[in-house]
Amino acid sequence: MTHAQSLARRWAIAACMVWGVATAVAVNRPLERVEYALAAHEARAVARAMVDSSGRRPSPIRRLVAEGSLTRAGVELSRYLGRAVRGLEESDRVVVHRSWLKRAVSVPLKDRDEWEIVGVVALQAEPWRDLPVTLLAIAFAVLVAATLASRGVDRLAEDPAIALYSVLVGPVATLAVVMAALTALVRQRVEAAAASLPPPSALSRFDGLTLPLPSATLSALTLALIFAATAAALVVAGWAASARRHAAERRETLTAWAFLAPSALHLLVFTAGPLAFTLFISFHDWDLLRLDRPFVGFGNYAELVADPLFWRAVGNTAVYALYVPVSMGLALGAALILNQPLRGMHALRAIVFLPTVVSYVAIAIVWQWMFNADFGLLNVLLRAVHLPGVDWLGNPKTALVALMIVSAWVQLGYQMVIYLAGLQGIPAHLIEAATLDGASPWARLRHITLPLLRPVTTYLFVTGIIWSFQVFTLVYVMTEGGPVHATDVLVYRIYQNAWEFRRMGYASAMSWILFAILLALTLLQWRALNRTVDDAA
């Protein structure tokens, strides 16, 4: 090993140690902040319970706490309490204690009539209480980082760019390890704080007061997010530094990300975020109008399995999905007819496609009238040929079929357009070759056109099934799941549980089951499509 190299190695190890200490400090600060936020959260909840238990009166204190100004909230609250209750002790007021190492808040508790102070809730944060464990974690992380860094130095001669990268990855790994350890630590601490709250039985006389437990998971999650963001930033910085020698490459990557950023951000915020949040909710008994949302683990999922209405909805959805192959068959027929180079075909295509661009609500209302038992067009036609009318939407036996008819009618145009595109994508010389090979029109359809349309058919079938599993508008407008749950489909069941029965957790669990089903279908589609593409290539 050269002198320069061992020098570099020593520098790298020193840098790692500095980095470790910096990490320890950085970790402690978010810890404080989290504990502080936790206390604020607590104070907010208590204040709300005290001042606004009826849910009608807006409270200035609640606003102040929500704004994060705990001190002013404390002052305000104590003034309010002071006015409301004579002879209040100083210690009964909301007080925020601060010192260099400690943060604490104490909030008085009132009874149901908001007349009497019956107790005080206090929460304390002591970030350095677990100092030995914290130090141990950091020491371990520094060791790992230093090892990685010195290995990086060893490779400096071989490939400077990559070596620099591993020197930087070391500290990032440190951070990750410390993050994991301390997240667990914070969680444990928060749970301890929660346990120190007065037990519910102590409040039995004042049952208007419900105190939500502090959410340990949420605090840990916040902390984890902070560290994940930091780690990601460091990795990006490390990448930027290591790729210095390949400026063009780095510029290319940057450009690529600049183009990706809008949709990536959108995906993260509006798809991945809600998805994760739904999973989180599904493990809780989550009522939008209640403050305590206890963690129930897999309770919601267990309930689902035993819920006959859920299974009914699954069954209905599956039966409903059967309209897809029917409308596909009709769409293929229409596409084959409308693919002929005749006059007026363009106008006809547009007309068949029209339902696809109309709002589902409008379609639902129009079809509701078409299905009307007394005046509906369908029954008028049936009676005209001396057949008995059918109470389409009122009869449990026909309601789902009626919905399937509407869906097939709507989807027909879209599927036809896709089939038309598929038909026009078939090279004319293949059909000509088959003609010269002596194939009749029917044989050309069966042996050439249909096999070559297989990717289109697979695509339409799988996306159609996926869409059919998401049906909601038609059910919501036309039948509301009835009669007697005959048209109760999965998404409608989810909607009802979430917004009518206020069972967000249960609805979220159902959403995840639906998501799992759709994911499985999508994966099947991928495999099927890849196979057909291989065939066609």
Partner 1 sequence: MASVRLERIAKRFDAGGTPAVDGVSLEIADGEFTVIVGPSGCGKTTVLRMIAGLEGPTAGRIFIDGTDVTDLPPRERDIAMVFQNYALYPHLSVRENIGFGLRMRRVDPVDIARRVDRIAESLEIGVLLDRRPAQLSGGQRQRVALARAIVREPAVFLFDEPLSNLDAQVRAQTRGELVRLHRRLGTTMIYVTHDQVEAMTMAQRVAVMHKGRVEQFAPPLDVYRAPSTLFVASFLGSPTINRFAGRVLPDGTSQRFDGGVRLRVEAPLAEVATLAVRPEHLNLVAPTEGSAGEVTLVEPLGPETILHVRLTGGEQATLRLGAGTTPAVGDTVGVSVRATEALVYDARGRLMGRGVA
Residues that bind partner 1 (CB under 8 A): 427, 429-430, 432-440, 443, 447-448, 451-452, 454, 535-537
User: What are the start-end ranges of the H helices in 113-212?
Assistant: 131-154, 160-195
For residues 124-155, one letter each, b for 16 or more C-beta atoms within 10 angstroms of the residue's C-beta and e for the rest, the string is ebbbeebeeebeebbeebbebbbebbbebbee
Nearer to partner 1, 329 or 441 (CB): 441
Amino acid identity, position 3: H
CB of 444 to partner 1, least distance (A): 9
CB of 433 to partner 1, least distance (A): 4
Nearer to partner 1, 249 or 437 (CB): 437
Nearer to partner 1, 132 or 427 (CB): 427
Nearer to partner 1, 351 or 433 (CB): 433
CB of 339 to partner 1, least distance (A): 18
Nearer to partner 1, 375 or 442 (CB): 442
199: number of Cβ within 10 Å: 8
Nearer to partner 1, 443 or 484 (CB): 443
CB of 431 to partner 1, least distance (A): 9
Nearer to partner 1, 334 or 434 (CB): 434
CB of 427 to partner 1, least distance (A): 7
Round to whole Å and give the CA distance between 41 and 214.
8
Contact 295/284 with Cβ under 8 angstroms? Answer: yes
Beta-carbon contacts of 501 under 8 Å, excluding residues fewer than 6 positions away, are none
73: number of Cβ within 10 Å: 26
331: number of Cβ within 10 Å: 24
Nearer to partner 1, 87 or 427 (CB): 427
CB of 534 to partner 1, least distance (A): 8
Contact 489/316 with Cβ under 8 angstroms? Answer: yes
Q: Look at the chain and count its residues.
A: 537
For 260-282, give the DSSP string: HHHHHHHHIIIIIHHHHHHHHHH
CA atoms within 13 A on the CB side of 179: 18
Nearer to partner 1, 324 or 448 (CB): 448
CB of 436 to partner 1, least distance (A): 5
Round to whole Å and give the CA distance between 324 and 78.
65
CB of 447 to partner 1, least distance (A): 7
Rounded to the nearest angstrom, the gap between the alpha carbon of residue 504 and the centroid of all alpha carbons in its chain is 13
Start-to-end C-alpha separation, the chain: 55
CB of 450 to partner 1, least distance (A): 10
Q: Pseudo-torsion of CA 458, 461, 462, 463, nearest 10°? A: 110
> Quick check: helix, strand or coil at residue 295?
strand
CB of 337 to partner 1, least distance (A): 21
Contact 27/134 with Cβ under 8 angstroms? Answer: yes
Round to whole Å and give the CA distance between 531 and 525.
10
CB of 446 to partner 1, least distance (A): 11
Nearer to partner 1, 86 or 429 (CB): 429
Nearer to partner 1, 413 or 455 (CB): 455
Nearer to partner 1, 326 or 439 (CB): 439
CB of 512 to partner 1, least distance (A): 39
Beta-carbon contacts of 379 under 8 Å, excluding residues fewer than 6 positions away, are 372, 373, 389, 390, 392
Nearer to partner 1, 386 or 429 (CB): 429
Round to whole Å and give the CA distance between 178 and 175.
5
In Å, how far are 370, 406, 530 from 537, measured between CA atoms?
Answer: 47, 37, 10
CB of 331 to partner 1, least distance (A): 21
482: number of Cβ within 10 Å: 15
Round to whole Å and give the CA distance between 433 and 449.
12
Contact 389/382 with Cβ under 8 angstroms? Answer: yes
Q: 3-state DSSP helix/strand/coil percent for the chain, to nearest 5? A: 70, 5, 25
